[in-house]
Amino acid sequence: MPTPAFPAARTAALGTAPYVAEQLPQHAALAVASRDGLAESVHYGSVIATAPDGSTLASAGNPLAPFYPRSSLKPLQAVALVRAGLELPADLLALTAASHSGAAKHRDGALRILEMHGLTPGDLQNSTDLPYGVTEREEWVRSGGDTTHLAQNCSGKHASMAATCIINGWPVEGYLDPTHPLQQLVARTVTELTGEEPLGLSTDGCGTPLFALTLRGMARAFGRIAAASSTAPGTGASRTPHGGTAPPCAEAAVGLAMQRHPDMVAGERRDVTELMRLLPGAVAKDGFEGIQLVGLPDGRAVAVKISDGGDRARMPVTVRVLEALGVDTGPLSGIGTAPVLGGGRQVGLLQATDFLSKPVNEAP
């Protein structure tokens, strides 16, 4: 059903409507896996790098085509919750923006959010699942664990959404409905941060409303969050005229929480956690179907979408764009490429192509 934030014209083609071949994005070859010098697989997609003012620094493919940002939307949703009065310790705010691996600290963190606001796991409306992390899932299953709301990778976000309803006197029941006051606030916040009206509305895997946006819009939002974090209290750039520090805005609160607790945003052995540990000041979030967002402390940002939805090319492409922006990617070498093995030894490499045909300062 169309909502006040999304008129009928923008939602009529959603749901079970078939795709139109002429509307398929015109992606570019972004990464290649070679085996003994032969290109074995090619990953296509689109990418954009934006300046602090949101203008384009570099691009490839079709970064203005609408796409679903999936879990990369979570930091924007978290900003909306903080604006609505959600106050949490930094580790739990990072968990609010997380696609966590389902480790004990993640499950316990989501439970803490609920208990702080008089809620129980029975109030969660996300889908149930096993832990997302491979090691965490294996340990969970060996211990007799089954699919639960808390183990599902979005439980931190859902716990915080339910908590925000309690804070504002909104009904917890039905908090996923696009017409619910919480989701209306999220929709307005997403529009503000991205600088664009969503092009459609769907439902994410965990049940939350999901907006069709562009890579450019998402990059703008991450640039804003990362830039706000760099000028937040304690960073030396937010002194008041009287010598004190201004309280952080919602964007800064979310960005700082993610930077300070990258293990809560994803988990051990996850490349997003690794990137934020190795690239100080960055705010990074991945999403299902081959999506990666990175905001830099100076307000620049990178957005990547791999067209086949696969996960392995996402980070090599991201690192390639960061390198083109002049970021020191030496510390990221471990996630910037991946070996192709044969008989237990390396016989090839997964790496980004030279998809940026122009220097960054010459890009349209």
3-state SS string over 49-86?
EECCCCCEEEEECCCCCCECCHHHHHHHHHHHHHHCCC
Element holding 122 (H helix, E strand):
none
pLDDT of residue 356: 87
Burial 66-80 (b: 16+ CB within 10 A, else e): bbbbbbbbbbbbbbb
pLDDT along the chain (364 residues), means of 10: 43 57 85 96 97 96 96 98 98 98 98 98 97 96 97 98 98 98 98 96 97 98 96 53 61 97 97 97 97 98 97 97 96 95 96 81 53
Which tokens is 298 given? 């100076």
Element holding 207 (H helix, E strand):
none
CA gap 274, 332 in Å, rounded: 8
Please report which residue ranges of 143-200 form alpha helices under DSSP H. Answer: 155-168, 181-194
Which tokens is 202 given? 């769907």
pLDDT of residue 23: 75
Given the structure tokens 């939307």, which residue do they identify? 73
CA gap 212, 222 in Å, rounded: 16
CA gap 306, 114 in Å, rounded: 35
pLDDT of residue 24: 84
- One-letter amino acid identity for 110? A
DSSP state of 2: -
The structure's pTM equals 0.90
pLDDT of residue 12: 44
Given the structure tokens 């503000």, which residue do they identify? 192
Instruction: Compute CA 259 distance to the chain's CA centroid, rounded to the nearest angstrom.
Output: 13
pLDDT of residue 16: 61
pLDDT of residue 248: 79
pLDDT of residue 206: 97
Which tokens is 306 given? 């791999």
- DSSP per-residue letters across 209-270: EEEEB-HHHHHHHHHHHHHHHHTSTTTTS-B-TTS-BPPPPHHHHHHHHHHH-HHHHS-TT-
Which tokens is 81 given? 């919750």
Closest CA to 20 of 52, 61, 53, 65: 65
CA gap 74, 148 in Å, rounded: 20
| Contact criterion met (CB below 8 Å) for 350 and 32 | yes
pLDDT of residue 204: 97
CA gap 42, 33 in Å, rounded: 6
